[in-house]
């Protein structure tokens, strides 16, 4: 059963902060964890580089259990709903919060007394490793670094005043553990060595490759926010950030907002309500709107039905861009539905009927296949996105490989390419593949040797729960996944599944959630369009809403956000200059990059154990690498501020 652990202290039991929950994707979706996705034959496996809330976890690790230690935190559930009225107000006291740090690395690297014994690994589980949420480590002193010169600044008046809210603060301590019973499991970076030491594995003859960036030294324990601590001083934060926000590397346009989540206090802002190009931080809004519209457990289906004449089959695209071709494609979207599984079902249903023709039905999606504001080089075969169609495999990729930079070669017509692959699998003529429309649904499904009924179902496969697809979108910054998820928001609202319909439905859903949706102008759901405009305030309020617990599904956003120096698009970030390394493992955020645009939006835990939500949006910087490092410096300073 999926559980979240509240590390809150007794000062104010009603105020907590939800930074996501541990457990498998199926558990987070509120479903039994069976190790399979719908009718897929193969059980899902963990995604590379993915990290659960509270800290990163090695690839391939499976859930384990350990006995609770003395003083374990109590399991809690969501609290009361978010206030309908917009705005923020000062609240006495502050919430306890679990940080978004690297607890998994810390637990594996330093065998701290008090950690429960390793449990048996369950093979074939879906998602990420976790321990029993009630398990706690022995108390380890956490000595904060000395205050930087100039940090001692007289307190200033706190800016508040937007309506009180009740927040659910959930801090999840997740330990990555490996048992020898399951054999060799690939594990990223230096965690490989740490886990060897923990489990007593002999040294390998072939050393693991060196990490791309220096690995951060994790804090000895993932601690909760100080419930009785004071809100960071606004004047001190200003002194700390002003020189960094004014850096020439960021360019002439910098919009930013920083919020202390527990107290709902704005600590720093510049042009917070002015929209600017968000790039892929748009995906934060996409994640929030689709989780709210469809729910974490929703699955996307790909179906095949009988055509109008015997032997004619129609493959109906249901918008599942994660559909794999073969089992070997598992490294891109582990546990995805597979085209070969679907073909096997269809061949069985056809019995002795020879397939003569394959039609591809992509009518679920409407309108143009590329968005306003996309450049010609953005689209396949050399770009970061494919034409958006309701049927494709591996998000339109020719090979199941993701490249953060340089583009992924994609099919020029993903749907027809998938249809041809399917035709080959069922031994239908390749030349017969063309677009068409499925007959009206008929039931029951066709049985082998039964009467041919147009529209009768021949087979279907389902994606993993939507929460996992959102994770992949955020971790890899996958533009195709973002666009198909945006269309799911439109479909849930009864609108056409197009770029325009998705933008309209997303805005309506954000407004329904009580967010300032008028602060976004969207032309796509991925952020690839250079016409999009979003404010820092909207991004920060979305993250705050996800953290406060009144919308439990939104808390899953934090499980997918890349972790600084560890996973996804932040795997190689926060390495240079060396001062930025203090934020490795404790910042989880969505990156954004377009020509001349660099953005970052997410959450972090300060050295004083405060959870901050932030959005930094810069435009016009002359060098992208320097601009990213400058943005990272702002986040790292917040981590180490001691304000």
Q: Which residues contact 49 (CB under 8 A, 6 or more apart)?
A: 59, 188, 475, 566, 567, 568, 571
**Candidates 477, 498, 550, 567; catalytic one:** 477
CA distances from 278 to 134, 159, 350, 376, 524 (A): 39, 25, 49, 20, 11
Residue 280 appears among annotated catalytic residues: yes
Whether the ω angle into residue 297 lies within 30 degrees of 0, i.e. cis, is no
Catalytic residue among 21, 102, 130, 280: 280
* 164 is a catalytic site residue: no
Catalytically annotated residue among 59, 105, 109, 283 = 283
For 73-88, b/e burial (b = at least 16 CB within 10 A) is: beebebbeebbeeeeb
Element containing residue 244 per DSSP (H, E): helix 234-245
Element (H, E) at 638: helix 624-640
Asked if 50 is an active-site residue, the reply is no
Q: Which distant-in-sequence residues (6+ apart) come within 8 Å of 276 by Cβ?
A: 253, 255, 533, 534, 535, 617, 619
What is the separation, in whole angstroms, between the first and last Cα of the chain? 39
| CB-based contact 394:323 (threshold 8 Å) | yes
Got the DSSP string for 374-422?
--GGGBTTSSSB----S--SGGGBSSS---SSS---B-SSHHHHHHHHH
- Residues sharing a CB contact under 8 Å with residue 599, sequence separation 6 or more, in sequence order: 277, 278, 279, 280, 281, 591, 592, 593, 615, 616, 617, 618, 631
How far apart (Å, rounded) are the C-alpha atoms in residues 420 and 434? 9
Residues 66 and 274: their CA atoms lie apart, in Å, by 49
> Cβ–Cβ contacts within 10 Å for residue 429, how many?
12
DSSP-based three-state secondary structure for 144: coil
- Positions annotated as catalytic residues are 280, 283, 477
């Amino acid at each position: 059963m999926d559980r979240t652990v509240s590390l809150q202290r007794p000062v104010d039991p009603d105020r907590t902060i939800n930074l996501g929950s541990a457990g498998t994707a199926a558990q987070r979706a509120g479903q039994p964890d069976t190790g399979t996705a719908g009718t897929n034959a193969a059980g899902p496996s963990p995604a590379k580089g993915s990290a659960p809330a509270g800290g990163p976890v090695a690839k391939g690790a499976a859930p384990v259990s350990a006995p609770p230690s003395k003083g374990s935190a109590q399991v809690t559930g969501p609290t009361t709903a978010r206030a309908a009225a917009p705005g923020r107000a000062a609240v006495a006291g502050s919430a306890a919060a679990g940080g978004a740090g690297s607890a998994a690395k810390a637990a594996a690297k330093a065998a701290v007394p008090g950690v429960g014994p390793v449990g048996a690994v369950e093979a074939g589980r879906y998602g990420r490793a976790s321990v029993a949420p009630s398990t706690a480590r022995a108390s380890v002193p956490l000595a904060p670094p000395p205050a930087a010169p100039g940090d001692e600044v007289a307190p200033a008046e706190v800016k508040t005043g937007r309506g009180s809210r009740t927040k659910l603060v959930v801090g999840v301590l997740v330990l990555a553990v490996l048992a020898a019973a399951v054999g060799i499991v690939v594990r990223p970076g230096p965690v490989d060595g740490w886990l060897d030491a923990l489990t007593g594995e002999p040294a390998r003859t072939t050393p693991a490759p060196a990490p791309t960036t220096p690995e951060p030294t994790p804090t000895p324990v993932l601690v909760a926010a100080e419930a009785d601590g004071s809100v960071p001083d606004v004047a001190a934060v200003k002194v700390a950030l002003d020189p960094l926000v004014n850096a020439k590397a960021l360019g002439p346009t910098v919009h930013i907002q920083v919020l202390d989540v527990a107290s709902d206090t704005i600590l720093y802002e510049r042009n917070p309500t002015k929209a600017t190009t968000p790039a892929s931080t748009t995906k934060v809004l996409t994640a929030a709107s689709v989780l709210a519209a469809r729910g974490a457990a929703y699955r996307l289906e790909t179906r095949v039905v009988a055509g109008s004449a015997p032997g004619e089959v129609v493959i109906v695209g249901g918008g599942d861009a994660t559909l794999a071709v073969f089992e070997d494609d598992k490294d891109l979207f582990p546990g995805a539905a597979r085209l070969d599984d679907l073909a096997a079902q269809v061949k069985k249903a056809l019995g002795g009927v020879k397939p003569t023709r394959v039609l591809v039905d992509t009518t679920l999606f409407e309108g143009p296949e590329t968005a306003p504001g996309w450049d010609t080089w953005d689209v396949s075969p050399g770009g970061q996105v494919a034409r958006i169609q309701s049927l494709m495999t591996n998000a339109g990729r020719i090979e199941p490989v993701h490249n953060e930079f340089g583009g992924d070669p994609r099919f020029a017509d993903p749907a027809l390419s998938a249809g041809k692959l399917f035709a080959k699998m069922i031994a239908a003529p390749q030349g017969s593949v063309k677009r068409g429309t499925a007959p009206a649904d008929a039931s029951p499904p066709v049985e082998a040797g039964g009467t041919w009924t147009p529209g009768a179902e021949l087979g279907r496969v389902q994606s993993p729960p939507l929460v996992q697809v959102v994770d992949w979108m955020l971790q890899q910054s996958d533009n195709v996944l973002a666009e198909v998820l945006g269309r799911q928001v439109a479909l849930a609202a009864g609108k056409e599944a197009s770029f325009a319909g998705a933008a309209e439905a997303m805005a309506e859903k954000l407004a329904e959630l009580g967010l300032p949706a008028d602060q976004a102008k969207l032309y796509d759901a991925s952020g690839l369009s250079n016409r999009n405009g979003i404010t820092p305030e909207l991004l920060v309020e979305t993250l705050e809403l996800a953290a406060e617990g009144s919308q439990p599904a939104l808390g899953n956003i934090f499980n997918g956000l890349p972790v600084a120096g560890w996973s996804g698009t932040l795997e190689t970030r926060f390495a240079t200059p060396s001062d930025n390394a203090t934020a490795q493992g404790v910042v989880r955020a969505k990156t954004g990059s377009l020509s001349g645009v660099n953005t970052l939006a997410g959450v972090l835990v300060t050295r004083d154990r405060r959870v901050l939500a932030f959005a930094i949006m810069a435009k016009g910087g002359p060098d992208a690498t320097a601009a990213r490092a400058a943005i990272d410096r702002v986040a790292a300073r917040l981590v180490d501020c001691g304000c």
